[in-house]
Amino acid sequence: MPLGTPHWRRLREIWRSAGWPCQDLIEVELLAAGLLERLQEDGRERLRVTDAGVQALAATLDRNRRARDAHEQLVGRVALELQRAGRVVWRGLTLRAGLPGEAEAPGAPAPLIETPAPPAQGRPRWVQAMPDVFSIRHTTVPDYLDVAVHEIKVRRADLLGELRRPAKSQAYLALSSQCWFVLQAGIAEPEEIPADFGVLIAHAQHLALARPAPRRAHQPDFGTWMALARHACEPAPADDAQAWLGEAQSPPGPDPG
């Protein structure tokens, strides 16, 4: 019996709680799989995670930890490549973008920092975006900033989940001149990614260009500049730190994205 995300979420909830039953089909399947057991205490029924359930939780925790580690490693690779291409790079930013949509709920506070919303009927729908890698060219000419967002995916399930909820990706488009998906090799084909995005494939030793990203005119708004000012950019790579002090090394090569 295949178990999905709702099953693992419920199993974790029961592990952390007193185990009062909901008596729904998710619990039926967990009981049938031997991951839960029923106990009678003082005339009440309670659920307990079995030893097999504990082992299953530990296995999912290990898989998730390895996926997070792989994700962060690839984020670091992309950030380093962009820095070596002469770009200023940020990780862990939180930005807000306005998308066409219904007005916010009555009484909801307005965002403190807002990006200009695309033209639409009525008020925009504000979306919080946390791009994996956000970068701009190292330039003093505003028109040459070429703002880029790189979204990193190492698991197919994560990629499909994002493609099913396009608001997040649309926010990235609203915040950048070009937007990329960086895919771990083997998790998807470039044709599965919407045409508004470029695609890079991460192999063991290099990043391969599968499809260039369409470029659009874009200037960061005041809210984005404030977010960049509050959040330190990535420090210069240790092996490149002395490159700008003399002419012994060449400047960074072509922009990979």
Domain ranges of the chain: 5-49, 61-104+111-235
64 pLDDT exceeds 90?
no
In whole angstroms, how large is the CA radius of gyration of the chain? 23
Q: Report, as an integer, the average pLDDT of 68-84.
A: 91
Phi, psi of 240 (to 5 degrees): -110, 0
The Cα–Cα gap between 162 and 149 comes to: 15
Amino acid at 150: H
The Cα–Cα gap between 113 and 95 comes to: 8
pLDDT score, position 70: 87
Q: Report, as an integer, the average pLDDT of 232-236.
A: 89
CA distances from 242 to 6, 78, 139, 141, 239 (A): 51, 21, 19, 24, 8
Q: Give percent of the chain with pLDDT exceeding 70.
A: 83
162 pLDDT exceeds 70?
yes
pLDDT one-digit tens code per residue, 213-232: 999 999 999 989 999 999 99
pTM of the model: 0.65
Q: Report, as an integer, the average pLDDT of 160-185.
A: 92
245 pLDDT exceeds 50?
no
pLDDT one-digit tens code per residue, 101-157: 654 444 445 444 444 555 445 577 788 899 999 999 999 999 999 999 999 999 998
46 is written with which tokens? Answer: 């309670």
Q: Report, as an integer, the average pLDDT of 230-244.
A: 72
**How many residues are present in the chain?**
257
Higher pLDDT, 128 or 189: 189
